Amino acid sequence: MADIIPLSSAIADLVHDGDIVAMEGFTHLIPHAAGHEIIRQGKKNLTLVRMTPDLIYDQLIGMGCARKLIFSWGGNPGVGSLHRFRDAIENAWPQALEIEEHSHADMACAYDAGAAGLPMAILRAHRGTDLPKFNPTIREIVCPFTGEILVAVPSLRPDVAVIHAQQSDRRGNVLIWGISGVQKEAVLAAKRAIVTVEEIVDSVAPRANSVILPHWTVSAVCHEPGGAFPSYALGYSTRGNDFYRKWDAIARDRESFASWMQRYVLDVKTFAEHRALLTRSAHG
């Protein structure tokens, strides 16, 4: 049953040091507000799972929240590198980061298998590539019917999934439309789930291509309008492509990253304050 509670309470109650945390959202609906709250609460030793680490994990990794990263593409889309992710892998800064690397196809299937309650996913992948040499969780399996050699990867079963969505009703039934990524799979695969939403409405009205997560699959719903920025919520905002570009310079060196995080994340109490501060500085 979903509790509609403040984000700070949801993170405090449901995300623990050492947890396996999957914060999903494929370009669209990335839960940035929740990422900031995890940083402010100083969570440690997390195993972070996410297909595309994006700016949200660049920030969590750079602030020392992560022990391990399970991922399939670690870049700033259309811009270049994630500099904090690179600094952690190349120079162990601010601490060593263990990586478990996959492709999008195998990771998407691993979430699907997690939601389906299976121990592993099977797919046609990785033939002729080097990744299986370095990731022992990518293994071969022989089809018992045809003899074809396929790939098996263990299913993903996070302790907690965190996503952002457009709407919830007052009971916590969640509605997503547009690019839905792997959020449904991540929530159904996880033991607990936190959903931040743009809007809480009297009743949700499903549209074409929309995904419903019933309130009894969600632990907490938190009202965080604009909580995906610089990612976006279709129908509410567009992607902050300008900010994705600006992030490159902010995150490029350790000092400018640390001072940006201090000013815009640690020294504010909420994501709404963060957004207001960004708006003032961008136009002031």
Partner 1 sequence: MADTTYDPEEMMTVAAARALKNGDVCFVGIGLPSTAANLARLTQAPDVVLIYESGCIGAKPDILPLSIGDSELVETADMVVSVPEIFRYWLQGGKVSVGFLGAAQLDRFGNINTTVVGDYKAPKVRLPGAGGAPEIATNSREVFITLRQTPRTFVETPDFITSAGYLTGGDARAKLGVPGKGPTRVFSDLGILEPHPVTKELTMVSLHPGITADQARAATGWQLQISPNCGVTPAPTDAELQILRDMKSRAAQAHSRSNLLSS
Name the site residues for partner 1 (rule: CB under 8 A): 26-28, 51-52, 71-75, 77-79, 81-82, 85-86, 89-90, 101-105, 108-109, 111-112, 123-131, 134, 148-149, 178-182, 184-185, 209, 211, 226, 229, 232, 234, 236-245, 275, 278-279, 282-283
Of the two residues 127 and 191, which places its CB atom closer to partner 1 in the complex? 127
Of the two residues 131 and 201, which places its CB atom closer to partner 1 in the complex? 131
Bridge-based pairing state of the strands 149-154 and 80-81: unpaired
Of the two residues 39 and 123, which places its CB atom closer to partner 1 in the complex? 123
Chain centre distance of CA 231:
11
Nearest approach in angstroms of CB 3 to partner 1 is: 27
How would you class 67 by CB atoms within 10 Å of its CB: exposed for 0-12, middle for 13-18, buried for 19 or more? middle
Q: Which of 37, 18, 27 is nearest to 220 (CA)?
A: 37
Of the two residues 90 and 202, which places its CB atom closer to partner 1 in the complex? 90
Q: For residue 218, what are its two tokens?
A: 């969600």
Kind and range of the H or E run holding 10: helix 7-14
Q: Which of 270, 193, 221 is nearest to 23 (CA)?
A: 193
Nearest approach in angstroms of CB 57 to partner 1 is: 12
Nearest approach in angstroms of CB 86 to partner 1 is: 5
Nearest approach in angstroms of CB 116 to partner 1 is: 10
Of the two residues 14 and 115, which places its CB atom closer to partner 1 in the complex? 115
Sign of CA dihedral 197, 200, 203, 208: negative
Q: What's the rounded Cα separation, in Å, for the pair 112 and 106? A: 10
Nearest approach in angstroms of CB 63 to partner 1 is: 19
